[in-house]
Amino acid sequence: MPAIPEEAPDPREMSADDLARLGFARVSRGDAIRAKCLDCMGGSPSEVRRCEAGGCALWPFRMGTDPWREQREMSDEQRAEAVERLARARDARGSAKGFSLFG
């Protein structure tokens, strides 16, 4: 867990490098929400699925998706182009297949 200075700075005024120096990894909002839900449920994905804390603002997002976001309709051609772009991006970054933040 990152060590936060006693007088916590405003993260809006910090650079990505400042956050990294404090020990924070760059993650998406969805991954951050999922990580908090796992933390709340003792690290158990099955408990996150069964969570009954309906009063929690993160509850609708606990499975790592945004239920308010409309599903995008893609043609077969658009889907093929997206797959190619993703493959090129992964090759450019050298990222490993099957990478997961949580496992």
**pLDDT of 72-101, one tens digit each?**
888 999 999 999 999 999 998 875 555 555
Q: Supply the pLDDT for residue 44.
A: 95
Q: Supply the pLDDT for residue 9.
A: 81
Q: Which of 6, 35, 34 is nearest to 22 (CA)?
A: 6
Number of Cβ atoms within 10 Å of the Cβ of 62: 20
Where along the chain do its domains lie? 1-62
pTM for this entry: 0.57
Ranges of the chain whose pLDDT falls below 50: 103
Q: Residue 45: left (phi > 0), alpha (psi -120 to 50), or beta?
A: alpha
Q: Supply the pLDDT for residue 97.
A: 56
